[in-house]
Structure 1
Amino acid sequence: MMRAFTRETSKVVAIPGVNCDTDQIIPGRFLKADRAQGYGQFLFHDIRRNEQGELDPSFPLNQPGAENATILLVEDNFGCGSSREGAVYALVDHGVRAVIGPSFGDIFYNNALKNGVVPVRLPVEDCEALADHLARFPDAEVTVDLTASKVTLPGNLGTHPIVIDAFARECILQGLDEIEMTFTYMEQIKAFETDRIASHSWLDR
């Protein structure tokens, strides 16, 4: 079930790499695993490990305190490649609530919205400024406020609008998928059907 998202304040982990594809986010060989066990353990599995299969301490997600961060900063075209929804499952199961970047793969972007992960598009220069700030102040926090549709960056980097589809935004705010959101309009749907049949009696034959 999708977790509702209204406002999240967190440290930010900057993930390096332009065109980070879904196979880097979660390698395809793990997609057969039972998700009940959690896909978070497979997040960036291969790129966060060295040749011996051990966690690389230099990889940002492996550094002290990073495991508690719920916001990622990524580079251009994050989530490109295949349509695997497992990439978003891995983020969700790891605890990631929002991803900030200049651009995202289209299918990844839509999968994120459907699973309650907020993809925040910011201009390249703002993302680079945030990355520079985080390099100097690794404990700096960012606030993603979906209720107010804005993201507040640390220091003097300002506040920027979050622009996502209105229906998707409402679903995420309420923690409902598209079908569950439709059910919230059941009384209106029933009323419409009753009125429609009353005015077009032949529909009920």
Structure 2
Amino acid sequence: MEKFTTVTGIAAPMPLVNIDTDMIIPKVFLKTIKRSGLGVNLFDEMRYDRQGNEIPDFVLNKPAYRDAQIIVAGDNFGCGSSREHAPWALADFGIKSVISTSFADIFYNNCFKNGILPIILPQEAVDVLMKDAEKGANARMEINLEAQTVTASDGQVFAFEVDAFKKHCLMNGLDDIGLTMEKAASIDSYEAKAGTLRPWV
């Protein structure tokens, strides 16, 4: 998992509330167990028509937002089923952070495990950032995880809270496997000792 320190990029405005995980990645694409390759199907039913053609009005199909790294979203982002494919699809598309007033708990935690920073801010702050995102490609936001700030293109700064352990994991690029591997020496030592004490196991 990549380390998350600072992201400066285009933010896509998605003011719709209750964007659920089936909207993020429809169930038809859940057959894979690979984290890669799902970005092309992110928001599939909103991005493409029934013939597979792009819907021009959808925000991520607009030239200004094709390289968006941040989403400014409506309330309750990531609700619905607990599928981890949702953050997989976001990450594979290139989304590094989602800003909203609230997230579904499971989706929120899955984001951290997949290198995405979900940021919770008050409605007033999200409103300001939504307007900023609507400016298009010339308006770049900066997210600084160490300082726990979001800076709009006009210089307004908004502070956010984040769990210290989750922050540590993101800043050091540690998913669950990475956290386990940090203890590799202790695990090897335990296994060697256990093998000596219980050779029949």
Q: In structure 2, what is the equivalent of residue 176 of structure 1?
A: 174
Distance 1:35 1:137 in 2: 32
Q: CA, structure 1 residues 98+110, in 2 after alignment: closer, same or farther (shift >3 Å)?
A: same
SS in 2 for 1:84: coil
Q: Give the superposed CA RMSD.
A: 2.4
Distance 1:15 1:137 in 2: 13
- For residues 46-98 of structure 1, give each alpha carbon's deviation from its aligned partner in whole angstroms, at most 9, with x where no partner exists: 01223544211111100003121111111000000000000000001001111
SS in 1 for 2:46: coil
Q: State the AA in 2 paired with 1:71.
A: I
Deviation at 1:185, TM superposition (A): 4.6
Distance 2:74 2:11 in 1: 13
Q: In structure 2, what is the equivalent of residue 154 of structure 1?
A: 153
Q: In structure 2, what is the equivalent of residue 22 of structure 1?
A: 21
Q: State the AA in 2 paired with 1:86.
A: H
Q: In structure 2, what is the equivalent of residue 79 of structure 1?
A: 78
- For residues 21-68 of structure 1, give each alpha carbon's deviation from its aligned partner in whole angstroms, at most 9, with x where no partner exists: 000000001111463651101100001223544211111100003121
Distance 1:67 1:46 in 2: 17
Number of positions where the alignment pairs a residue of Structure 1 with one of Structure 2: 193
C-alpha contact 1:146 1:162 (8 A) present in aligned 2: no
Distance 2:36 2:144 in 1: 30
Q: In structure 2, what is the equivalent of residue 199 of structure 1?
A: none
- For residues 140-182 of structure 1, give each alpha carbon's deviation from its aligned partner in whole angstroms, at most 9, with x where no partner exists: 11111112221112225x2122312111111111111134224
Q: State the AA in 2 paired with 1:173.
A: M
Gaps of 5+ in 1: 194-203
C-alpha contact 2:12 2:134 (8 A) present in aligned 1: no
Gaps of 5+ in 2: 191-196
Q: CA, structure 1 residues 60+124, in 2 after alignment: closer, same or farther (shift >3 Å)?
A: same
Deviation at 1:132, TM superposition (A): 2.1
C-alpha contact 1:102 1:123 (8 A) present in aligned 2: yes
Distance 2:25 2:157 in 1: 32
Distance 1:76 1:29 in 2: 25
Q: State the AA in 1 paired with 2:14.
A: I
Q: CA, structure 1 residues 36+89, in 2 after alignment: closer, same or farther (shift >3 Å)?
A: closer
Identity %: 41
Deviation at 1:136, TM superposition (A): 4.2
- Among 159, 162, 165, the alignment partner of 2:163 is 165
SS in 2 for 1:46: helix
Q: State the AA in 2 paired with 1:119.
A: P
**Pair 1:92 & 2:88 matched:** no
